[in-house]
Structure 1
Amino acid sequence: MPHPSDPFEDDLDDLPPPPAVHYAEQALLGALLLDPHRLSEIGALEADHFDNHAHGALFRAMLETPAPDPEQHRDSPAWLNAVLDAARPNAPGLTASYLHTAIQVCPWPQHAISYARMIRADHARRSLRMHAERLAQTASDITLPHRAAATVHQADALARFLDDLSGRFAPHPGSLPRTPLQPAPPRDVGEDALDDERFLLASATAHPAEAKNMRWLVAEDFAAPLHAAVWQCLTALTHRGDPIDPVTVLWEAQHRGLLAHDVTPASLLTLVETAVGSPEHWGEKVVQRALLARAQAVAARITAYTDDPANSPHQLVTGSRRALADLAALRTRWQHTIAPATPTSPRTARNPSAPRAGPPPRVTAPAARAAR
């Protein structure tokens, strides 16, 4: 037997139970159907804020139908019928009995403001989840011509949404989410990603002077742990001012315990011997892949927050901002790799024989007569 509180439920047993906001929406609609004048008390609420489509259509019909006279509304269902007729084109499943059900299940019409606040909070949670999903989709969409730039743009849109959200919900104690987080999604270890890292290590070994200026690249940017460790060997040699070539890198790797049964001296030499291109070129690719992976991890973290209904809007804002902060530092380093080098014009040497500024020279009398 279908549940009387949902106009679209059927007798299928595998349907999930309605979420808590479903009952908040019913309670608000029941309060407004009883007392239409409360529409002016509930604050900024839109039909799109409702999770249930039929509820949103019914609320929109209330906004579009002129409010009745309070005395007439007590004795006549005319306004209820007008609202139902206005809502049915967008929600054909609505019936007059459902409107009466909403009225009956409303605990206290005087609590309409609280019910509206609950609906806005749940809409904020769903909207935040949508922004996080867009960030994840953008970061993983290989068809985009400028995927990293598009991902950064989507992260900015998410940050602006959080700023707007923070202004609509008051802060409160215990602002950090307590949601258990899953491990970050695995990094891309396909052949293209591994080849970029191999070419980077080899070219940095062959051209250490160029690699010396690549402070924007760190070991955490690498997808392969071995490649990250070899990069640390290169940066350590550079920091000490030691010579850099495949053999010195091998020796440093040995002292760092990188040589094992699956990493032999010969294989490590092969890793850093075949130099192709510039280390900055390959470094930019490695940082870009790290940026995309971090964006997907941030999106997964925010999605986990929104999937936990125990989190309040303020907790969602605080946790999401901290997640975006993890992306900000990596974004700054990536932007450094794509920023055009600022041309420096050579300074013009001052002519030491040029006279200093001062008063004009005094003209002598013979020179004045000669000028005439």
Structure 2
Amino acid sequence: MDPLLTGEQAVLGAVLLDPRQLGGLDWLEPRDFYRPGHQSLFAALRKLRDEDHPALGTEGTVPVAWLTDTLAEAGQQVRGLTASYLHTLVAACPRPAHAPLYGRMVLEGSIHRTVAEHADRLLAVAREDAGQHEVRGTAAQADVLTGVLDDLAKRWGTRPLATAPRTPSLPVAGQPPAAAQAEDEQFLLSLLVHQNGAIGEVFDWLRPQDFAHPGHGQLYRCLGALHHRGEPIDPVTTLWEVQRRGLLAKGTITEEQLAPVLRDGAAGSAEWLGEQLLRSSLTRTAAGAAQQIAAHADDRRLAPGQLIGHALHALGPLDEVRARWRTATSPPAPPPAGADQAARVQAALARSPTLPGTPASPPPNHAPLPPSGPRQVHEHTSSHRSPV
């Protein structure tokens, strides 16, 4: 027995038995029904209601015309509907007055189904973008999914707030990194180790979790720690930091993986390589989020509000990667207005000689010294406060 099918049949049977029940189902749409025949029947019932069908003004026994007209209208949209099936719908409704509750069951199934469909689309687009080294389609589909979740929350009557599951979601088994991906990560790490100052090009927006290989991510964390402490980065200091963190002892990274990074010098643009790595991280994160959302949608124990909250929570890591992608690929911000003019004025004043006997001009925003009397000496202490 399918509960969703039973709920769809019950709400349709309730309206066939009592047309006035449509007044409490304005929030339900034909697209919320799973079966095409049920979609057509509900659309036909709403159309007859909007056209003021005579059955709406009757009390007691519903006229046969309500059933025959509904069947004729729905038959124009889908084939296979018979009068006997309408009797099946009527028999499936135990209480016509419970139509709003049956409708909530239909809407709940529709929300689970809609979330699953859009999660599958995000997964497909992310995998396609990963193969084409693109991110625009993934970002657009993620925005579509976020908008759908917001709309579903409004329909269900809840706020679209990200909520973490009570039990942590099991990690999604992703595909192992390709050999080319591992080589690109190794090349970038080697460049960061051997090229002085290269890590400064990527440190603000590249994170250890962007590396597909966990060992490479931990090695990048070591380089970031050296850079954060202001210590030099070279093969010796990198090996020492790896040893201090016990990465070799734990097996996080092997000597075979570490040796090429420390031994082989590399030349290139760390910024460009980092952007390629971040692009792969974005599509990989989107695919993982889509799989988690699909798993939540398949869990029928979750109420629609919980499902929407968990789905928004799963999109959180993707939003964070997208923010860093915008930082990495956006052009540098222009200097504030007037900054160049002020710099030129200060440079001109610095080059201008001060004539003998001419008092120097006070610096900007500096309070003038108070006049000193003939018999008084004032101690004046000036303080400068930086703008907050």
Do the two structures share a fold, i.e. TM-score over 0.5? yes
Cα pair 2:191 2:265 within 8 Å, conserved: yes
What does residue 95 of structure 2 align with? Answer: 108
Structure 1: 5+ residue runs without aligned partners? 1-16, 357-372
Tell me: CA distance 1:231–1:339, structure 2 relative to 1, closer, same or farther (3 Å): same
Deviation at 1:107, TM superposition (A): 0.9
The question of 1:40 aligning with 2:26 is answered no
TM-score, length-scaled by structure 1: 0.81
Cα pair 1:250 1:269 within 8 Å, conserved: no
Q: Among 332, 341, 349, which residue is 2:345 paired with?
A: 349
Give runs of aligned pairs for residues 34-113 of structure 1, distance below 5 A. 34-65=17-48, 66=51, 67-69=53-55, 70-71=57-58, 74=61, 76-113=63-100
The question of 1:288 aligning with 2:288 is answered no
Give runs of aligned pairs for residues 146-225 of structure 1, distance below 5 A. 147-171=134-158, 181-213=169-201, 214-225=203-214
Cα pair 1:181 1:304 within 8 Å, conserved: no
Q: 1:218-253 CA deviation, whole Å, 9 max, x = no partner?
A: 212111122122212222222333332223323333
What does residue 27 of structure 1 align with? Answer: 10
Tell me: CA distance 1:54–1:267, structure 2 relative to 1, closer, same or farther (3 Å): closer
Distance 2:268 2:11 in 1: 65
Cα pair 1:202 1:274 within 8 Å, conserved: yes
Cα pair 1:217 1:283 within 8 Å, conserved: yes
Tell me: CA distance 1:267–1:107, structure 2 relative to 1, closer, same or farther (3 Å): closer
Give runs of aligned pairs for residues 295-310 of structure 1, distance below 5 A. 295-310=286-301
Q: 1:155-191 CA deviation, whole Å, 9 max, x = no partner?
A: 222222222222222349xx76567743223255102
Secondary structure of 1:24's aligned partner: helix
Q: Among 116, 119, 125, which residue is 1:138 paired with?
A: 125
CA RMSD of aligned residues (A): 2.9
TM-score, length-scaled by structure 2: 0.78
Deviation at 1:192, TM superposition (A): 2.2
Cα pair 1:220 1:228 within 8 Å, conserved: yes
Tell me: CA distance 1:225–1:41, structure 2 relative to 1, closer, same or farther (3 Å): closer
Q: 1:86-119 CA deviation, whole Å, 9 max, x = no partner?
A: 2224332211111011112211111112212221
Cα pair 2:12 2:42 within 8 Å, conserved: yes
Q: Among 328, 331, 336, which residue is 1:337 paired with?
A: 328
Tell me: CA distance 1:22–1:327, structure 2 relative to 1, closer, same or farther (3 Å): same
Deviation at 1:263, TM superposition (A): 3.1
What is the percentage of aligned positions where both structures have the same residue? 37
Cα pair 1:133 1:303 within 8 Å, conserved: yes
Structure 2: 5+ residue runs without aligned partners? 354-360, 363-388
Matched to 1:348, the amino acid is R
Tell me: CA distance 1:337–1:169, structure 2 relative to 1, closer, same or farther (3 Å): same
Q: How many residues align?
A: 336
